Amino acid sequence: MAVIRVREPLKKLAGGQSEQAIDGTTVAELLRELERTHPAIGGWILDERGQVRRHINVFVNGERGEESTAVGADDRIDILPAISGG
């Protein structure tokens, strides 16, 4: 299983766990499974269209990923807020 890593405030919504081992073959599949396991996180990372929110970055083993990026069993996925704001 791949490992998804989140920070606050997502960590709290994910039951207080900063790391989750989740099954899936793409970033979108993993995030949907994360939402299914922890409904409180629904709408925080993916919007209603199933797209990663504009100012959230997904890294797969340190490289920028997107919804369709393939993931394997040993991959590490980091969910981080983008450097943005004012």
Asked if residue 15 binds another protein (CB under 8 A), the reply is no
Residue closest to 37 by CA, chosen among 65, 81, 1, 70: 1
Contact 58, 64 (CB under 8 A): yes
Asked if residue 7 binds another protein (CB under 8 A), the reply is no
Asked if residue 51 binds another protein (CB under 8 A), the reply is yes
- Give the distance from CA 54 to its chain's centroid: 13
Q: How many binding residues for another protein (CB under 8 A)?
A: 18
Among 8, 16, 48, 64, binds another protein (CB under 8 A): 48
CA distance 25 to 17: 22
**Residues in touch with another protein (CB under 8 A):** 9-10, 40, 43-45, 47-51, 53, 55-56, 81-82, 84-85
